[in-house]
A = this chain, B = another copy of it.
Amino acid sequence: MAQKGSRKTVAKTPDIRTVAALAKVSIATVSRTINRSPAVSERLSKRVWQAIEQLNYFPNTHARTLVSGRSRLMGIIVENITNPFFPELIQSFEETAVAHGYEILVSSSNSDAAILTNCVRRMLERKVDGVAVMTFGEEEPVLNELVNHDVPMVLAEFHLEDPKASTILLDYTTGIHAAINHLVELGHRKIAFLAGPHKLHSAITRENDFRKAMQAAGLKPKKEWIVECDHTPKGGVAGFEKLKALPVRPTAILCSNDMTAIGVLRAAYMGGLHVPQDLSVIGLDDIDFAEFTLPALTTIRLSRTDLAEAAFEALRQQAEEPGNANIQREFLVSTSLVVRGSTGAPPSEA
C-alpha cells in the first residue's frame, strides 16, 4: 500500500529470460547451454555461463519437470524410520542420489497399509522417477497403483511380475550359516531363533535360512525354540521371556534383527543372566549401535550401503534407459558374520 513502486525494485530470482537478455542470446540457447547440448558454439556458451554466474541463476526444477516429464526425484519408502537400520539406509540412498543429481522423497510406512497407500499417492503426485520399496512386507496390492502409472520400482526380497520392477535379493544364507557354525564351534547345540513378524518377507526368509543352517549343522531346533517377535527391543524382551519359561532352555539365541537382540540383552540382564557366560546372543543387521551394546553385539552384517546403492542403481537404469532391454533386473546383496562380545562357550552342563 505505502510504497507502490516497491514491487518493481524487489530483486526477484533471475529467469532464463534474464540470463538470455544479459548474454544477448535467445532463451533456447541458454537452455541448450545449461543442458550441455553440443549444438551451441564455444563463444556463446562462454558468454551464457558468465551471465549465469553473474546472476547466480539456477533453473526452476518444476518448470523443467513439467515439460521434460522427468522430475529427478526418487522415492524411498521404509518400514520404520525409528529402527536405526533405516536411517542408515536412507543416508546412503541420499548420498548416491545426490551424486547422480537426484533428490529423494522419504516416507515411513510403519507397516500400515493405509499410510503406505497415502505415501504412494503422494509420490505419484510429485511425479517421482522411481520408488525404492524397502518395507520387506506384504505390500503388493497397494503397489498396483505404481505399476499402473508405469513408475520404476525396486523391491527388497520380492519379485513383482512387472517390466518396470526390479528385485534385490538378500543373501542371508551366508551370514546365517556362519553364525550357526560359530555357535556350534563354541559348543552350542541348543540354539533358539527369535523370528520377525511373519508378514515381512525378510522375516520369513531369515527364519527359513535359520532352519536350513541348523539342518546343515546336523541340529534340529525344537519347535518352541522358534518364536515370532516384532523386530523391536520390546519384542526381544517378550521373546526372551517365552524362552525362559520353557522346561529346556536354549544356550544361544539368534535374533532376526539387532533391535530384537538388544531387547534380549536387556531381558537377560534383568533376569540375572550374564551374556555371554550364561547365554550367547547374535543379532542381524549390524546397525551402528551394535558396537556399543553391553556386551558388544555379535551380529550378521547387512550392508546398508550395498543395499542402497543397488536400489538406486536399479531405479536409475529403469528411469534413464527405458528402451534398453538388457537392464539388470536382479541384484544380490550379501551378509557376513561380525563376531564381538555377545557370544561365547555355553555354560557347562549343570
Contacts and interface: CB of A to CB of B under 8 A. Distances in A.
A200 interface: no
A61 B126 contact: yes
B269 A292 contact: no
Interface stretch (A25-33, A88-96, A158-166): A88-96
Interface string A103-143: 11111100000000010011011110000000000000000
Contacts of A103: 105, 122, 126
Contacts of A245: none
Given A66-B66, A82-B88, 5 more contacts: A82-B84, A84-B87, A90-B106, A106-B106, A294-B294
Contacts of A125: 58-61
Nearest 7 pairs of A and B residues by beta carbon: A62-B62, A87-B87, A62-B65, A233-B292, A294-B294, A62-B66, A81-B87
Contacts of A118: 98
Interface string A50-84: 00000000111111011000010000000001101
Contacts of A294: 265-266, 269, 293-294
Copies in the complex: 2
Interface of A: 13, 58-63, 65-66, 71, 81-82, 84, 86-88, 90-91, 94, 98, 103-108, 118, 121-122, 124-127, 149, 233, 262-263, 265-266, 269, 288-289, 291-296
B233 A58 contact: no
Nearest to A266: B292
A173 to B, nearest CB: 28
Contacts of A106: 90, 94, 104, 106
A66 B61 CA distance: 9
A124 B121 CA distance: 24
Contacts of A82: 84, 87-88, 91, 288
Nearest to A119: B98
19 contacts: A58-B125, A59-B125, A60-B125, A61-B62, A61-B126, A62-B65, A66-B66, A82-B87, A86-B87, A87-B87, A94-B108, A104-B106, A233-B291, A262-B292, A263-B292, A265-B294, A266-B296, A269-B294, A294-B294
Counting chain B CB atoms within 10 Å of each CB, the highest count among A63, A81, A127, A149 belongs to A81
B81 A91 contact: yes
B266 A124 contact: no
Given A108-B94, A149-B13, A127 B88 contact: no
